[in-house]
Amino acid sequence: MKLGKRGITITEAGIALFILLISIAYLNNLAVSYMLTLSSVKERYLANSLAQEGIELAIALRNKQFEHNVGRVNPTNPVEWLGIPNETDTYCLGLENGEIKTSTSPTEGCLIIITSSPVFYRKIKFEKYGSENFASSSIVKVTSEVTFRNLEPIKIETILTSGIFIPFSTSSP
Amino acid sequence: MKGFTLIEVAIATFIFITSFVVMFEMYVNLTRASLYTQELQLALDNMKFGMEKIWTEIKTGANFATTTNGIIFKDKFCATTTITKINDELIFEKNGVTSTIFDPKLVKVDNFTLSYDNVLGGDEYYKQNSKIFIINYELELITKNNSIPYYFRQGVAPLESTRMSSLCQ
C-alpha cells in the first residue's frame, strides 16, 4: 500500500457538495417554472377560445341579419348586412336570453368572468377591408382581442363578406 | 502522521448527511413535479383534442336540436350525431357507434351546457336553426394525486346556418 497519498480535504468535499446542491436547486427551480408555464398555458388556451368565440359571434351576427333582410342588401344602408353601424367603435358581442347583443365596448374591452380564472376583457373591431368606404363595404375585417393579467393580448382576425346577401336592385324579394 | 479527531469526523458526517438529505428532498420534489406536469400536460392535450372535435363537428353540422344533457344534429355526411353528458363523461355517438370525447382517466366532465340564439321559426332552414352555440364546460383535469378544475367556453357559428333548405332531409 502506497503511503502518503493525499485524499480529499473537507474544503474540496464542501465545494463539490455545494456545486451539486446548486445544480439540483436550479433543476428544482426549472420544474417549478415549468408548472407555472403550464398554468399559464391553461389560461392562454381559454383566452384563445374566447377570442375565437368573439369571431364566431361576429359571423353569427352577420348570419342573423340574413333572417331580417332575407339575404338582400339594403341600398340605403349597404353595410346593414354586417349588423354593425360603424368602424369607429369597438364592440362587445354576447349571447343574452337567446339574442346576440351588441354594444360599444369600453377602452379596455368587455369584462368576461369565467369561474376560477383570471378576468378577461374582449373587444371586437370591425374595419373596412379594401378601397370601399365602411358604409358601403361588402368586405370587412373583424378583429377579436382578448386581454388578461396585463399580458400581451391575444388577437384573432377574419374577413367577413356579404357574399350571402344579394343587392335589392338585382333580385326580387 | 496526524489523523482526524472524533469531532472533525462527526462534523464532516453531519455536513454530509444534511447536504445529502437536502439534495435528496430536492430530487424527490423535482421528480414529483416532473411527473405532475407530465400528467397535467397529457390531460390538457386530451381536453384540447376533444374540444376541437366538438368544435369541428358542430361547425360543419346541421339540423341541430338540444337534448336534456347535450345536442343532436346531422354531421357533414348527414349522419345522426349526438354529444351527451352521461355521468362524468361526454359521449359522442354517430350512426349508433359510441365513443368518449375525453379520456375518462384524464378529464372528468362535471357540467356541460349549451346556449344558443332563438330561431325565427318558419319553413326555410335558416329560420329553423340557431346561428351560434356557446358551450360551457366544467371539467377536472385528473392527475395521479389530485384533480384541477378547469372552466372552459367555446363559441361555434355553424357554417350551414344561412341555407334556404337543409342538405340533410
Min Cα–Cα distance to chain A from B98, Å? 27
Residue A169 pLDDT class (50, 70, 90 cuts) = low
Question: What is the pTM assigned to this prediction?
Answer: 0.84
Q: Which of A10, A31, A164 shows the shortest C-beta gap to B33?
A: A31
A-to-B residue pairs, Cβ atoms closer than 8 angstroms? 112
| B80 exposure class (CB count in 10 Å sphere: 0-12, 13-18, 19+) | middle
Min Cα–Cα distance to chain A from B137, Å? 10
B16: chain A residues, CB-CB within 8 Å: 13, 17
Those residues whose C-beta lies under 8 Å from the C-beta of residue B128, and which sit 6 or more positions away, are: B119, B121, B122
Inter-axis angle of helices A10-69 and B6-59, nearest 10: 10
Q: What per-residue confidence (pLDDT) applies to A173?
A: 41
CA dist., res. B37 & res. A114, Å (int): 23
Mean pLDDT for A140-151 is 92
Average pLDDT of chain B, as a whole number: 90
Interface contact A52-B126, CB threshold 8 A: no
Q: Which three cell numbers stand for residue A102?
A: 351588441
Q: What per-residue confidence (pLDDT) applies to B155?
A: 96
User: Does A7 score more than 60 pLDDT?
Assistant: yes
Interface contact A34-B33, CB threshold 8 A: yes
Higher pLDDT pick, B47 / A173: B47
User: Does A11 score more than 90 pLDDT?
Assistant: no
Q: Which three cell numbers stand for residue B33?
A: 413535479
Q: Pick left, alpha or beta for residue A149 (phi over 0 → left; psi -120 to 50 → alpha; otherwise beta).
A: left
A100: chain B residues, CB-CB within 8 Å: 117, 131-132
Higher pLDDT pick, A130 / B50: B50
Q: Which three cell numbers stand for residue B121?
A: 321559426
Give yes or no for B66 touching A (CB within 8 A).
no
B3: chain A residues, CB-CB within 8 Å: none
Give yes or no for A171 touching B (CB within 8 A).
no
Interface contact A114-B153, CB threshold 8 A: yes
A31: chain B residues, CB-CB within 8 Å: 29-30, 33-34, 37
ipTM of predicted assembly, 2 dp: 0.86
Closest Cα in chain B to A116: B151
